[in-house]
Amino acid sequence: MAKPKIALYWCSSCGGCEESVIDLAEDLLTIAAIADIVFWPIAIDSKYKDVAAMNDGEITATLINGAIRMDEQEQMAKILRRKSKLLIAHGSCAHLGGVAGLANFYKAEDVLNRAYKEVPTVRNPQGILPKVKTIESGREVRLPFFHDTVKSLDQIVDIDYYIPGCPPTPELIKEAIMMVLEDGLPPRGSILAEKKALCDTCPRRDGRPDKLKIKAFKRLHETEWDPARCFLDQGIICLGPATRGGCSARCINANMPCRGCFGPIDNVRDQGAKSLSFLTSIIDSKDEEELKKIADSIPDPAGLFYRYSLASSMLRGRQ
Amino acid sequence: MNGFEPKIVGFLCNWCSYEGADSAGRARKEYPANLRVVRVLCSGRTDPQFIIEAFKEGADGVMILGCPLGDCHYQDGNFQTLRRYTVLKKVLAQFGIEEDRLRLDWVSANEGDKFVRIVWEMVNGIKKLGPLHQARVENGKT
């Protein structure tokens, strides 16, 4: 019997998800022994036309990381959807829009101007912006079209499974690939991680007081924080109570609070709204003026609560 | 803005504000028909997801009305509302939803007059702001 085929692709992403696959280390050899990796632009030499030449459904599973911002990514997502039995959104950007999705607080025009004209390290006196078509030495050169908004992968194509995280842990990726190869997948649409919130499995859980009360939110640089005590108990914002677990508490173990990259738990539609809801419920004040001051101690609240999920949130971006 | 009739969603708590609205009705007081009332057991039950969804689904303004502070049927549910609302307003501003489109106020069961005044103020305020989704409608997007 022919070996099952696996493909990996990246869209609007930072490369961290690719790195998380490389971090499988020796396990990659295990996977390569039982499956053929047929397409993986960062690591193997296969071309778009090779994918286009495949039969529909020929690939057993494709992992796509990154959000969708450009039409080339959209086309590749659609082609890979056709060629794959299973399409898996890999990482926060594919799953929820991720950090790339924060661009939805700005217009496409502002993003391009910032990147190509205003950034201090850019020298562009002619103010040239990328164009879809350019004539260069008599030849037409094409660039992908830059869409108005960033989208999560499931806003473009149907997704069978999600591996959350920025990036996902190698353990989760390995588990997901082994589930595919050994036919042990949960119901379609599942998020392949913990069901409970990170807070429930937090290594600092035991020392957490029953009732958390916060008078002011402190930023990390404003305080010296105890490496064993619950962050919230120290007045440091941690989104663990409103974030899916399964990340092995990597940030917590590195003494950094959770920022929500594993997305919301099941049945929550808007991670940002839920994060806001839990965080404000532990504010210890009943005075309107004091509450305003405490609210002001959260810089960029929308950017905090929606850091990984803006593109897939209810409002999806600036109205 | 000619003939613009804003859509306003109001989350009214069962014990004070909904009763207050009822008392305005019993006294046959007039208030604009722009308000769509959703009865919640406590203003504290108004999950920020409800408010965001209301805006997403086409509301031009959202009101949360609860028991006066200190009079909550569940002791401090309305303080939870106040805490959430204070931060939510800032978040909505970052989404381009003006502060005045979300209002929190307290109406007790016998304050029909206050209820009517708040609805009028809200409707007139939103009429001045114009439709929330105007830009998107003009761009032909939903």
Domain A5-99+149-181 maps to which CATH number in 3.30.70.3000, 1.10.340.30, 3.40.50.620, 3.40.50.700? 3.40.50.700
The percentage of chain B sitting over the pLDDT mark of 90, rounded to a whole number, equals: 91
User: Which residues of chain B does A273 touch, with a Cβ-Cβ cutoff of 8 Å?
Assistant: 47-49, 51-52
Minimal C-alpha gap between B70 and chain A (Å): 10
Query: Which H/E stretch holds residue A142?
Result: strand A139-142
User: Which residues of chain A does B94 touch, with a Cβ-Cβ cutoff of 8 Å?
Assistant: 105, 300-303, 318
Q: How far apart are CA A59 and CA B36, in angstroms?
A: 51
Minimal C-alpha gap between A106 and chain B (Å): 10
- Name the 3-class secondary structure at A187: coil
Please give the domain boundaries of chain B with CATH numbers for all domains: 8-138 (3.40.50.960)
pLDDT band at residue B116 using 50, 70 and 90 as cut-offs: very high
pLDDT band at residue B141 using 50, 70 and 90 as cut-offs: very low
From first CA to last CA, the distance across chain A in angstroms is: 53
Comparing B3 with A236, the larger pLDDT belongs to: A236
Q: How far apart are CA A176 and CA A89, in angstroms?
A: 11
* Phi, psi (rounded to 5 degrees) for A191: -100, 120
User: Which residues of chain B does A268 touch, with a Cβ-Cβ cutoff of 8 Å?
Assistant: 49
pLDDT band at residue B111 using 50, 70 and 90 as cut-offs: very high
Neighbour tally for A211: CB within 10 Å: 7
B28 CB near a chain A CB, below 8 Å? no
**Which ipTM value was assigned to this complex?**
0.92
A155 CB near a chain B CB, below 8 Å? no
**How, if at all, do strands A68-70 and A133-136 pair?**
unpaired
Taken in order A243, A249, A255, A256, the sign of the CA dihedral is negative
The shortest CB-CB distance from B49 to any of A105, A270, A281 is to A270
pLDDT band at residue B137 using 50, 70 and 90 as cut-offs: very low
B137 CB near a chain A CB, below 8 Å? no
A301 CB near a chain B CB, below 8 Å? yes
pLDDT band at residue B3 using 50, 70 and 90 as cut-offs: confident
Q: Cβ neighbours of residue A136 under 8 Å, at least 6 residues apart? A: none
pLDDT at position B113 is 97
Domain with CATH 3.40.50.700 in chain A: 5-99+149-181
Chains A and B form CB pairs within 8 A to the count of 86
pLDDT at position B2 is 66
pLDDT at position B138 is 46
B87 CB near a chain A CB, below 8 Å? yes
Taken in order A184, A186, A188, A190, the sign of the CA dihedral is negative
Comparing B63 with B138, the larger pLDDT belongs to: B63
pLDDT band at residue B134 using 50, 70 and 90 as cut-offs: low
Query: Nearest-CA neighbor of B57 among A315, A309, A156?
Result: A315
Q: Please, is A149 exposed, middle or buried when counting C-beta atoms within 10 Å of its C-beta (0-12, 13-18, 19+)?
A: buried
In this predicted structure, the answer to whether residue B135 has a pLDDT above a threshold of 70 is: no
Question: What are the 10-residue block averages of pLDDT along chain A, 319 residues in total?
Answer: 92 96 95 95 93 97 98 97 98 98 96 96 94 94 95 98 97 96 93 96 93 92 93 96 97 97 96 97 96 95 97 94
pLDDT at position A2 is 85
User: Tens digits of per-residue pLDDT, B25-64?
Assistant: 999 999 999 999 999 999 999 999 999 999 999 999 999 9
Nearest-Cα residue of chain B relative to residue A288: B82
Query: Nearest-CA neighbor of A261 among A5, A11, A17?
Result: A17
Best residue in A314, A316, A318 for a mutation probing chain B (most B CBs within 10 Å): A314
